[in-house]
Chains A and B, each alone.
Chain A
Amino acid sequence: MSNQAIQEQIQSTPILASKGLQLIAAFALGATILFAAAFAQSSAVHNAAHDMRHSQGFPCH
């Protein structure tokens, strides 16, 4: 394989996290959003999300 071919192969192989890692990242993102919306104790967040928290059955206060 010529140097040029190797070079092309390197360039065309994107650096990707494994599929499992990408799924875990999506899970972690969802869990973080849910934690903030459901449980964050900042009173501004609590008041803004108040009706949603009650209607989703999140333990609110």
Chain B
Amino acid sequence: MLFRRIVVIALLAGLAGGLALSLVQRWQVIPIITAAEQLESQKVEVAGSEESDHSGHSHDHDHDHEEWGPEDGLERILFTMLSNVLTAIGYALLLVAFGAAASIKFGKARMSFASGLVWGLGGFIAFFAAPSLGILPQLPGVAGAALESRQFWWTSTVLCTGIGLFLAHTLKTNWRWVGAAVLLVVPHIVGAPQADDLYAGHTAEVATQLSELSGAFLVATGISSLIMWLVIGGCTGLGLHRFLPKDA
């Protein structure tokens, strides 16, 4: 059955991608998050809020102190790995569904390892590169516009970019280039919601440090995300090539 096969392919591709992400991320992304959290805790002290006695696990934002969170160390690492793998499985399910649809419904060649890498690149562009043009991957301690508006813009941008790339790949009419270009560009013309002051509540010195960290964070998250997407894409391509039913 098609559904069962593509879900198994996605589970394996997601597992591989999530573990690859965890490795790279542990090495070059997490140290930046930790450094930013140190700076974030300074903000709390500057502001003199009641949260200044909080020094336990990860930063809690504005949440209640009693709420559960993983303890720093192994527990936090394991929960991050688990979320990485789950997220990668979610990505892989979307990639497998679109990849299978391209060959089953649009008559494109069945995905292979090599073309899977290109599909992975497409996933990276849709899910990381395009939204990052409007909203930089956010560091702890850095402010943003209202969460709901950012989530809405982020989701719309991912959908527009992903659908644009998919249509450019699958449709035959030359108009597809126009449609894809419009879909890719419109979110950025509309523009992402931006915060008034990204570093509100921080001293100028800390703001400068956070700003420098943000640049490094963009590069680090970009690299780890790209590696994850290439692993997901390559594995998805291999899986679809070998295990998609011949009649499908």
Contact = CB atoms under 8 A, between A and B. Distances in A.
The answer to whether A and B assemble together is yes
Interface of A: 16-17, 19-20, 22-27, 29-34, 36-39, 43-44, 46-61
Contacts of A58: 154
B46 to A, nearest CB: 19
B68 A57 contact: no
B1 A16 contact: yes
Contacts of A25: 3
A contacts with B: majority SS: helix
Interface of B: 1-3, 6-7, 10, 25, 29-30, 33, 58, 60-64, 67-70, 76, 79-80, 82-84, 86-87, 89-94, 96-98, 100-101, 104-105, 127-128, 131-132, 135-140, 144, 147, 150-151, 154, 220-221, 224-225, 248
A40 B221 CA distance: 21
23 contacts: A19-B104, A23-B6, A26-B6, A26-B7, A31-B94, A47-B58, A47-B68, A47-B70, A48-B70, A48-B82, A48-B83, A49-B87, A50-B58, A51-B80, A55-B25, A56-B127, A56-B128, A57-B132, A57-B135, A59-B150, A59-B154, A60-B138, A61-B61
Interface centre among A25, A53, A54, A55, by most chain B C-beta atoms within 10 angstroms, is: A55
A3 B87 CA distance: 51
A54 B91 contact: no
Contacts of A55: 25, 29-30, 33, 137, 220-221, 224-225
A59 B135 contact: yes
B105 A20 contact: yes
B72 to A, nearest CB: 11
A22 B79 CA distance: 31
Given A43-B68, A50-B58, A30 B90 contact: yes
A23 B97 contact: yes
Given A43-B68, A59-B147, A27 B93 contact: yes
